[in-house]
Structure 1
Amino acid sequence: MFSDADAAALYDLLNPWDPDSRPDGGFYFPLVMGAESVLDVGCGTGAMLHLARKRGHRGRLVGLDPDRAALDRARRRADIEWVEGTAAEAKSGAGFRLATMTGHAFQDLVTDHDVFASLSAIHGALRPGGRFVFDTRHPQARAWEGWTPSNPDDVVEVVDDTGRVLRYWHDVESVVGDVVTISGTVAQLDGTVLRVLSERLRFLNVMALSGFLAEAGFEIEAQFGGWDREPVTGSSREIITIARRG
């Protein structure tokens, strides 16, 4: 058996939240700590908000995610508000100073309707002048070409909470337009497959992304091509956006 709860725990092993050693964490964490109210959209298991509270954040922290198993893990900390729902279901009028969407979660918004509905809802959840900060992989870097078991950097071995040694890798199922369908395989070291996790990711370019943001009422404050706040260039692997509600 490899349950939904196991999958949530595996996510934490594969994606540790550490602003002291990971550049993405180092980018987001000061923004979170500097905002008195934060909505983390696609919060997953809540690691970023857990750490914010642990390190002294005294304001309102809310995590929003549709994955019940991930939220069950997040709810181990009860001094944060956890809400089950999609980005498009973010509550209007909540008046947050900051909304975040980390870990390339924005790419799970696959259709035009998903993107616009989600951006519109996040816009409505912010107070005037509030900021939405998120990241998406730049399509020009073609990151999916490295998601294959033949790439040793894409095959990860971890030890889970029960002491099982697990191996995890990706396969690309299809690339259709700007949507990439992938599978993530969880297996034992002897090759026994425990679970296959499927995901569809959309790779929007800067122009398309900027158009959606403008349509939803956002003004782009800044866009970066990497975690050191370098500009977006022809070799950038990321599109990191700070958008402001006017």
Structure 2
Amino acid sequence: MTGQEDDRLYSDPRLVDFYDLENGWGPDTRYCAELARTAGSVLDFGCGTGLFLAGIADGRPMVGVDPADAMLDVALRRDKGDRVRWVNGDIRNIRLGERFDLVSMTGHAFQCLLTDADVAAALDTIAAHLTPSGQFIFDSRNPVRREWEGWTPEASRRIVAHPVYGDVESWNDITFDEDTGIVCYETAYRLPSGETLSSHSSIRFIDQAQIAGLIARAGLVVDIWLGDWSGAPFEPQSKEIIPLGRLA
């Protein structure tokens, strides 16, 4: 099971709007856009609202895969969204029958895979869609940083400027299971009317050694481990775990 199933953040159009406001272009999409410059084709898993692929669409074959129709509806309506093929699918089992020069998964979508079996299936899917010289890249937060400890209501409270609702108060709250590494978190938005929109998500934190083992079992090899999206090499205390690799 993935952390997106039954999560209103990915299915309620009002919450999808907030997702887009809080997840714009960042270091991850900029880094992947640079990687994509020399790729003849791009496949993006967990594409969400299509910000990344629509932003680089230029006529090359590009496919975005996501399990949330509400997200894909936004992707299709984007400027240049019609230049990308959007597919509703689950990374654990989808097979497009095509191979790509770059397979990406950003925005910590990897962490929505909540078991080793889920991760193994996803990595098999990545391997099945890579050209012989193709590259894959994804990101996962480093559990040693215990980032979830800053996702309490007090620490995460913020104002989100919404084009329709105006300034909206937002916050998160979490529970953490030390045995599984799974964080269950709530995202809440209190509208000026007093109504509160909320969603509940689950993500998993696993360490670099465990990710490396699962990657190797999928017939993939990592050329470089990055510790952030600026290109710094991975170190034990790095914020991110980012493998950039290819077929073995």
* Residue of structure 2 equivalent to 1:186: 189
2:210 partner SS: helix
Asked if the contact 2:165/2:192 (under 8 Å) is kept, the reply is no
Task: Provide the C-alpha distance between the structure 1 equivalents of 2:200 and 2:165, rounded to a whole number of angstroms.
Answer: 25
Give runs of aligned pairs for residues 99-118 of structure 1, distance below 5 A.
Answer: 99-118=103-122
2:71 partner SS: helix
What amino acid is aligned across from residue 220 of structure 1 in structure 2?
A: V
* Residue of structure 2 equivalent to 1:236: 238
Calculate the TM-score normalised by the size of structure 1.
0.90
Give runs of aligned pairs for residues 124-203 of structure 1, distance below 5 A.
Answer: 124-151=128-155, 154-177=156-179, 178-189=181-192, 192-203=194-205
Among 14, 17, 31, the alignment partner of 2:22 is: 14
What amino acid is aligned across from residue 157 of structure 2 in structure 1?
A: V
In the TM superposition, residue 129 of structure 1 has moved relative to its aligned partner by 2.3
What amino acid is aligned across from residue 29 of structure 1 in structure 2?
A: A
1:97 partner SS: strand
What amino acid is aligned across from residue 209 of structure 2 in structure 1?
A: M
Deviations 1:86-125 (A, max 9, x none): 1123325411111100011100000111111111011101
Calculate the TM-score normalised by the size of structure 2.
0.89
Among 19, 22, 32, the alignment partner of 1:28 is: 32
Task: Provide the C-alpha distance between the structure 1 equivalents of 2:187 and 2:73, rounded to a whole number of angstroms.
Answer: 22
Deviations 1:32-56 (A, max 9, x none): 2221100000000000111102xxx
1:212 partner SS: helix
Task: Provide the C-alpha distance between the structure 1 equivalents of 2:99 and 2:20, rounded to a whole number of angstroms.
Answer: 29
Does residue 48 (structure 1) correspond to residue 56 (structure 2)? The answer is no
Could you list the runs of 5+ residues in structure 1 that have no partner in the other structure? none
Does residue 73 (structure 1) correspond to residue 74 (structure 2)? The answer is yes
1:200 partner SS: strand
Task: Provide the C-alpha distance between the structure 2 equivalents of 1:70 and 1:123, rounded to a whole number of angstroms.
Answer: 25
Task: Provide the C-alpha distance between the structure 1 equivalents of 2:125 and 2:117, rounded to a whole number of angstroms.
Answer: 12
More divergent stretch after superposition (173-182 vs 200-209): 173-182
What amino acid is aligned across from residue 177 of structure 2 in structure 1?
A: V
Among 5, 21, 39, the alignment partner of 2:13 is: 5
Task: Provide the C-alpha distance between the structure 2 equivalents of 1:33 and 1:25, rounded to a whole number of angstroms.
Answer: 12
2:233 partner SS: coil
Task: Provide the C-alpha distance between the structure 2 equivalents of 1:91 and 1:72, rounded to a whole number of angstroms.
Answer: 21
- Are residues 223 and 216 of structure 1, via their aligned partners in 2, closer, same or farther at CA, if it must alter by over 3 Å? same
Asked if the contact 2:224/2:233 (under 8 Å) is kept, the reply is no
* Residue of structure 1 equivalent to 2:3: none
What amino acid is aligned across from residue 29 of structure 2 in structure 1?
A: G
* Residue of structure 2 equivalent to 1:61: 62
Question: Relative contact order (C-alpha < 8 Å, sep 6+): which is higher?
Answer: 2
Q: Following TM superposition, where does structure 1 have runs of at least 4 consecutive aligned residues deviating by more than 3 angstroms?
A: none
1:88 partner SS: coil
What amino acid is aligned across from residue 111 of structure 1 in structure 2?
A: T
Aligned residues: 235
Task: Provide the C-alpha distance between the structure 1 equivalents of 2:146 and 2:121, rounded to a whole number of angstroms.
Answer: 26
Task: Provide the C-alpha distance between the structure 2 equivalents of 1:127 and 1:66, rounded to a whole number of angstroms.
Answer: 24
In the TM superposition, residue 189 of structure 1 has moved relative to its aligned partner by 4.7
